[in-house]
Amino acid sequence: MSDPFVKDPAFRSVTGETFAEMMDVTRYAGRTALFDGIIGQSHDHYWDPNDPAYIDYTQPFDLERDLVLPMGMFPELYSAPLARLDEPTRIALANENARWLLSGILHGEQAALALCARLANMLVDPGTQEFIANQAREESRHVTAFANYMAARWGAPYPPGETIGALLCELVETEEVYRKFVGMQILVEGLAMSIFATVQMNTADPVLKRLTQLVITDESFHHSFGKTWAELTVPDLAQAERDMVEDWAVEVFETLVLNLINVREKRAVYARFGLDWAEIAAACEAFYGSAARREQVSQQVSIFRSLAKMLVKAGIVTARTRHRYAAWLDMDAVEAEEDYLEFIGDLVSATGLELLDGINRGRKPIGKTARVEA
Amino acid sequence: MELKAAMHEIRKDTDKAKAFLDDPEGTLKSMGVDTSAARITKTTHAPVGSTHSVCGSGGCGVCVSAG
């Protein structure tokens, strides 16, 4: 294994530029069993994003009166220029913020689909290939489901913010497999799981509640891929490679934090209301004072604590990089506490599997037109 | 009951899991967990339609635990 980032043969890769390597006759027999359990369960959590038996996008929701997500998820709504707006405008603004957040999720799902499709052509092990191809298939139904939801509620999603858009492009396009694993399979998937768990617990929209439940049920299987890679790789990396993994992880972490809290990223949202994002950003600074950045993150505390906790458990946060996480979070508390969003994700996934078992029992899996019998 | 033990019990019991997802604080209280230190405020719910009262930190189940 000449690739210094490969410590288990299940994660060997090639560039994917030529196909000849995939027809090496010795390759087919070298299949890992690491992911067979997850692959075998894929039918247990099958769902069809276009079948109302799984999600009924026609369920009503009054965007003018009700909040899709609580205002507390968007701390700038408490800053002076926004706090003084009338209540209907604040509700509309909060719901546009939810639209922006969920648009980012949709772009992330599309990136995960593209990244998995590329990895299926780069990873060498047939078992790992099957896992990642299966993940690509499941990400594609998430894209369909979130696109359906955006169409039902708002007509169309927002374009990606500059920061998250650039990051997703880099993750999909990089030829370095470790950067894909750390960036997407661990960090972006981990952040998505935390956001889904938070949204699932807090949304008042029954469609979004069901959607996130079904997506969590899939994602809990995907997320384990990144964890498995970290467990089998990180402890055995040479110092130079370990440093590269740690540095890339903290760089992606900081990008994700900034994307979620930075008012500038969401300027398209505020422009719809004739509001100046720079004025709002300045008001947030004044509202939170010198500890503005850390305080803003503390408003999103559960999501980022969960993400940092996951990196700690994966051995990717060490003394070299800990201070960079500590600029945003109380790392002593993160290291000491349980990962509650992971706990919630596990519960949602378990109840989602039970739900799908009930629905799928009534399904006739015959061709593409099969639908659940009423 | 300690929070960690309650979480373990909830993981093993589907009915408790469903109850927790619907009402985190109430479920923990019913199991004898002291939630008095939890940072739960009811400042962010919609006038109509919110299914949960949530805290400013963005997640009721989370806040109960993180308190």
pLDDT tens for each residue of B33-57: 887 655 433 233 322 222 233 333 3
Nearest to B58 among A73, A209, A351 (CB): A73
Instruction: Quick: pLDDT tens for A189-210.
Output: 888 888 898 888 889 999 999 9
Element (H, E) at A365: none
Model confidence at B2, pLDDT cuts 50, 70, 90, reads: confident
Which residue in B has a C-alpha nearest to residue A75's C-alpha? B56
For A93-122, what is the mean pLDDT? 96
Q: In degrees, to the nearest 5, what angle opens at C-alpha B54 toward C-alphas B49 and B59?
A: 120
Give the residue with greater pLDDT, A370 vs A129: A129
- Chain A positions touching chain B (beta carbons under 8 Å): 61-62, 65-67, 70-73, 75, 87, 91, 197-198, 200-204, 209, 298-303, 305, 337-338, 340-341, 343-344, 346-348, 350-351, 354
Option in B10, B24, B46 nearest A67 (CB)? B46
Q: What average pLDDT does range A93-121 have in this prediction?
A: 96
Task: Decide if the complex's ipTM is over 0.85.
Answer: no
Q: Tell me the shortest Cα–Cα distance from B31 to chain A, in angstroms.
A: 17
Chain B nearest-CA distance from A341, in A, is 7
Find the closest chain B residue to A74 by CA distance.
Answer: B58
3-state SS, residue A20: helix
CA B40 – CA B28 distance, rounded (Å)? 13
A277-298 exposure pattern, b = at least 16 Cβ within 10 A, e = fewer: beebbebbeebbeeeebeebbb
Interchain contact, A300 vs B58, CB within 8 Å: yes
Pick the residue of A65, A342, A344, A346 with the most B CBs within 10 A to test the interface with B by mutation.
A344
Chain A residues with beta carbon closer than 8 angstroms to that of B17: 347, 350-351
Q: Which chain A residue has its CA at the smallest distance from B24's CA?
A: A201
Q: What is the mean pLDDT of residues A318-340?
A: 86
How many Å apart are CA A89 and CA A95, to the nearest integer? 10
- Count of all residues that appear for chain B in the document: 67
Do residues A282 and A276 make contact, with C-beta atoms less than 8 angstroms apart? no
What angle is formed at CA B53 by the lines to CA B48 and CA B59, rounded to 5 degrees?
125
Q: Which whole number is the average pLDDT over A211-222? A: 91
Give the whole-angstrom CA distance, residue A8 versus residue B32.
46
Please name the amino acid found at residue A19. F
User: Which of A67, A86, A257 to mutate against chain B (most B CBs within 10 Å)?
Assistant: A67
For residue A306, the chain B residue with the least C-alpha distance is B62
Closest CA to A96 of A257, A270, A265: A270
Contacts of A367 (CB under 8 A, 6+ apart): none
Q: Which of A130, A119, A140, A121 is nearest to A36 (CA)?
A: A130
- Lowest average pLDDT, out of A78-82, A242-246, A321-325, goes to A78-82
The gap from C-alpha A190 to its chain's centroid, in whole angstroms, comes to 6
DSSP-derived letter for residue A123 is: B
Q: Is the pTM of this model over 0.80?
A: yes
- Residues of chain A contacting B45 with CB distance shorter than 8 Å: 67, 70
Measure in Å the smallest separation between the Cα of B56 and chain A Cα atoms. Answer: 4
Residue A77: predicted pLDDT: 85
